[in-house]
Every structure is written in structure tokens, then in C-alpha cells.
Amino acid sequence: MIDLISPDRLKLGKRVDTITKGEDNEKMVIKFCDGTSAEADGVIGCDGIKSRARQIVAGIDNPASYPRYAHESAYRCLVDMDKAFPVLGHLAKRQILFAGHGAHIMAYPVTDCKYLNVAAFVRDSGDWPHDQKHTVSANKDDIVDSFSRFGPYVRDLVKLLPDELNRWGMFDTLDHPLSSFTNGRITLAGDAAHGTTPHLGYGAGMGIEDATVLIAVLEQAAMVLKKGDRGISKEDALVHAFETYDSVHRERAQWLVRISRRQGELVKWEVPEIGGDWDGIYKDMDERIPPLLLFDWEGMIRQATDEFARRIRS
């Protein structure tokens, strides 16, 4: 796909400062922290979980403008397969999840089975300092106690972890969801719109869904402007397109954030009525996973194009 993008269209290492209308209201002006600027008809903010574009869309004093710590951390590292296989046996060559009280481990082989990628998730009742990076250095001793009640597979696997680990704070947008992804000719997509915990492995997938809807409505907007038979301005066409995207897709995207947080609680046995009952865990998952993965994306596109047409007519 990178070959489809002209090099002069891609600028890396940029951080957004402000997004405002130009003096003639024709273009949106994006100013960056390095002093440079760019102009565009509309802006799709995809600047991640710490999104500045989200603050601009929702307002800097709005709690929804900021991600919140989900009170869990992932301790991540690679373990040599030569060391992991004697401990886990055939499980080392498969994706495996070990669940238990207040913690769980996800592991799977990478680099042609040369390494085992390990992510140990641990519940944390404390707060994450506002000015601290979301990834920090940590020590294996910080998590040994969290897995002390697990079985021998897990305890022996934890012993293999290096003394120095990367600790990834889990942040999402569940506590204060946005009331809209869109404000005028600015809209949000990806983690900027619906940052989520990783427990369903679908955060990037939802970003692709965002792009699918946006492509559909922007194509419709371009067709309306090309025909020019309704007297619709470029600004109005873009506003209708972005508002349609928000109307069609925001509810599903925010649903993902909720069910991903739920999944993290399930595999830490934190759901009171289920606990460590695997039949209950699987039943709960079966209610959520099929609607996530077996999704009618073509129907979503039809809904988006119909909704855009309705807005243009009204």
C-alpha cells in the first residue's frame, strides 16, 4: 500500500498543536509543534491514544478528551524458545492464555518459533502518574507474587522472564467516552476515537472499520460535489460525511472498548457471578465474540451511504 502514496504526501515526526479554519474558511489549517503547518479540506485525526485532535474535537476541559488508566499493566518480553519449550512443552508452539486471580499471561511463538512472546497482565489498584510515559522499565520481582497461586507451568515460565522488563500501562477511553467523534470538518479515527485495551486483539481492526466507513461517505461526498446539482458546498458535504460516519460507527466502536475491558476482567476471574468458572467464561465470550468478528461490513457501508444521502436531501 505504501507504493500507492506519493512521498510528498507523507510527513513523519509531526505533532499537532492546533486545527482551525483558515481566514477564508475554505481550508482547515493544521499547525504542528515544530512550527510548520498544512492545509486540508477536512481533517481525520488518527494521532493515537494521547490524541491532541481529540482535545480539539471535544474541548480541552472535557474529561472525554483524555484516556484513563484501566488499572492494569502488561509486562512484556521475549523468551528464547530453547528455554521455553522445556517448561511448556508443545504449548510453547501455540498461542496460549493462562488465567487466574487478578492476573493472566498471553504467550505465543514469534520469529519462526525462535522466541516466545510473553505478556503478563497484572491488575493494579493504583493510579498512573499523569506525566509518566505509558511504557516504563520494570523488574520481574514486581510481578512474581501476582502469579504465585498459578500452576507450575506459569510459575516456571515467570522464572524465565528477564530481570528487566517493559511495563505497558493499559489505557482506554471507557470511563469518559466521546459524545461525538466529529466536530465540523474534523473527525477522529483509530485510537484517537476509541482507544481500547488489547484483550480482544481488535483495536486495529476497528480502525480499519473506521476507514471503511470514511471511504464510503467521502466517496459519496465527492460524487455530490462533482454533480453540483444540489448547491451543496464542500464544507457542508464534508460535515455531512463526518457526521454520518459518527452516526453509523461510533456506537460499535465504543462497544468494543467496553467488551475488551470486560474480557480483561473475565480472564482475571474478576467478574463476581462467574469467577473462575470456565463454562461461564466461555458463555460470556460467546455472547460478544461472534458479533465482533462475524460483522456485516457491507451492510455497514450500505447504511452509511443511505444515511449520507438522507442528510444531503434534508
pLDDT digit string, tens, across residues 233-244: 999 999 999 999
Same domain, 185 and 113: no
- Mean predicted confidence (pLDDT) in 36-48: 97
Same domain, 191 and 307: yes
Write out pLDDT tens, residues 43-93.
999 999 999 999 999 999 999 999 999 999 999 999 999 999 999 999 999
Same domain, yes or no: 218 and 81: no
Q: For residues 212, 213, 215 and 221, what is the CA-based torsion angle, rounded to 10 degrees?
A: 170
Q: How confident is the model at residue 263 (pLDDT cuts 50, 70, 90)?
A: very high
Domain boundary among 172, 205, 238: 172
Number of domains observed in the structure of the chain: 2
Question: Is 248 found in the same domain as 218?
Answer: yes
Give the 3-state secondary structure percentages of the chain, helix then strand then coil, rounded to 5.
45, 25, 35
Q: Quick one: pLDDT at residue 24? A: 85
pLDDT at 41 over 80: yes
pLDDT at 230 over 80: no
Nearest C-alpha neighbor of 242 from the set 302, 195, 307, 176: 307
What's the rounded mean pLDDT across residues 117-130? 94
Q: Largest Cα–Cα distance in the chain?
A: 71
Assigned domain for 224 exists: yes
Domain membership of residue 34 (yes or no) is no
Mean pLDDT of 26-38: 96
pLDDT at 25: 84
Q: Identify whether residues 105 and 207 lie together within a single domain.
A: no
Among 150, 172, 194, identify where a domain stops.
172
**Band of pLDDT at residue 161, cut at 50, 70 and 90:** very high
CATH number of the domain to which 202 belongs: 3.50.50
Q: Would you say residue 98 has pLDDT above 90?
A: yes
> pLDDT grade, residue 2 (50/70/90)?
confident
Rounded CA-CA distance 52/25 in Å is 22
Give me the pLDDT at residue 124, please: 94
pLDDT at 4 over 90: no
Final residue belonging to a domain, choices 152, 172, 192? 172
Average pLDDT over residues 244-270: 98
- pLDDT band with cut points at 50, 70 and 90 for residue 314: confident
What percent of the chain shows pLDDT beyond 90?
92
Question: What pLDDT does 1 receive?
Answer: 75
pLDDT over 90 at 171, yes or no: yes
CATH number for 96:
3.30.9.30
Residues 195 and 288 grouped into a single domain: yes
Q: Please pick, among 76, 250, 288, 311, the residue that the annotation labels catalytic.
A: 76
Q: Find the domain containing 184 and state its range.
A: 41-66+176-312
Collapse the DSSP code of 182 into the 3-class scheme (helix H, G, I; strand E, B; otherwise coil) and give the result.
strand
Q: Which of 5-9, 144-148, 199-203, 221-225 shows the lowest mean pLDDT across its residues?
A: 5-9
250 labelled catalytic: no
